[in-house]
Amino acid sequence: MEDLPLHIPITFWIATFATLIFLLWAMSNMKKDRYKANIIFMGITGWLILQAILAKEGIYYSHLEAIPPLLMVFGLLPMIVLILLLFISRSGRKLIDQLPVKQLTILHVVRIPVELVLYWLMLETYIAEVMTFEGRNFDILAGVTAIFVGLMIKDPLKARGWLIVWNLLALGLLFNIVATAVLSAPFPFQQMAFEQPNVAVLYFPYVWLPVFIVPAVLFSHLVCLRKLIYKVP
């Protein structure tokens, strides 16, 4: 994928590191567990490097016949397990309850450049049209509205009703594009976009989308919903 116009990888790198910066901004509120926040940061950095190596070595693209797909086993599953552990363990809940709703809401603006990158990759035939806003992906709406929702938040608990609704709707948009991405990828169970499958996420740096950006967005929604539903200050 080295033949791509320069604005595509540059925009994606910006989206990736913006996600990381927003997470760090949220973790800066973890004053009671500063050392754990530092460990998390180092863990995320190591994870990004590991995924870059796997993608550049062609591990994900060269084993498309594997069931389950290696991208799910070595990319998505570890992040899902980590998120589950944070929510089911007492120490994990103690950590995530320190994260502020406002910063985690503003984090979703990264979905705007991500959607632009997906559209551009579609034009270069590396992404299926169904994965863009010209198809059935309306995730950019979550990114655009996150700007206004985040700026309007002063006391999340006083606005918890509409914040819960917004998070649920944006979460639905996320699930929609994830399902579309999986079913349009060149895996054994592919169901759509056979003429132009979703292959970009199997390569570096776009592998960071399913293994980092999507889990970060999911995590942000779940943390906000937990804090709003249980009225955690």
Note the pTM of the prediction, 2 decimals. 0.94
Domains of the chain, by residue range, sit at 7-229
**Most distant CA pair in the chain: distance in Å?**
52
Residue type, 223: V
Give the separation between CA 157 and CA 22, rounded to whole angstroms. 21
Q: Residue 205: is the preceding peptide bond cis (ω within 30°)? A: yes
Q: What is the pLDDT of residue 33?
A: 74
Tell me which residues of the chain have a pLDDT lower than 50: none
Q: What is the pLDDT of residue 23?
A: 94
Q: What is the pLDDT of residue 41?
A: 87
Instruction: Give pLDDT tens digits for 116-159.
Output: 999 999 999 999 999 998 888 999 999 999 999 988 888 888 88
Q: What is the pLDDT of residue 31?
A: 73
